[in-house]
Amino acid sequence: MSGKLKVLGFAGSLRAGSYNKSLLRAAADFMPEDANLEIFDIDGIPAFNQDIESDMMPEKVKDLKSKIRDADAILVATPEYNFSVPGVLKNAIDWASRPYGDNPFDGKPVAIMSASVGMLGGARAQYHLRQIFVFLNMYPVNRPEVMVTFAQDKFDESGRLADENTQKFLRQLLENLVNWTRRLGE
């Protein structure tokens, strides 16, 4: 695999001031030089409805599926709601992986990161996402695990990731995603 890698990123939050959206923007700034990150906003994807998955798939879902297909790798930033994956993120993944037999995630490397105002930084949501991604035949990056705890203290007023230690872990995750993607593409 040569040339610049295309990484597609999306955050599992619709909130305007989302720390996970800010984390994704930081990833765009820290992406290794041999890769580009395109950020897709999942806002506007309707609730999954199997009755319309084939004949009347929403345009936003078609766009997401196309961007996933075109990407070399996926990067997901997720909050944790009620000890698990946010409904909007699971909904976007469900839409994109359907109908059965048309899964653009198949065989893609994926990195997961999370930010939370709590002390676990989204760890449980990450675990559940790994289960989902393994089922979808994706290849998760194992280390480092980027779980931004007490996110309100790690970002400045403008939403910029200000914590140097977190920046270091994020850079390493992105380097590992790029290296993993190249290894899998050999």
* % the chain with pLDDT above 70: 99
Output the pLDDT for position 1.
66
- pLDDT tens by residue, 125-150: 999 999 999 999 999 999 999 999 99
Output the pLDDT for position 2.
74
**Contact between 12 and 154 (Cβ < 8 Å):** no
User: 3 Cβ partners below 8 Å, 6+ apart?
Assistant: none
CATH superfamily ID and name for 5-184: Flavodoxin domain (3.40.50.360)
Distance CA 19, CA 86 (A): 14
Q: What do you get for the CA distance between the two ends of the chain, in Å? A: 6
CB count in 10 Å sphere of residue 130 = 15
- All structural domains of the chain with their residue ranges: 5-184
**Contact between 11 and 74 (Cβ < 8 Å):** no
Whole-prediction pTM: 0.96
**Contact between 85 and 94 (Cβ < 8 Å):** no
- State yes or no: pLDDT of 86 exceeds 70: yes
Distance CA 77, CA 146 (A): 10
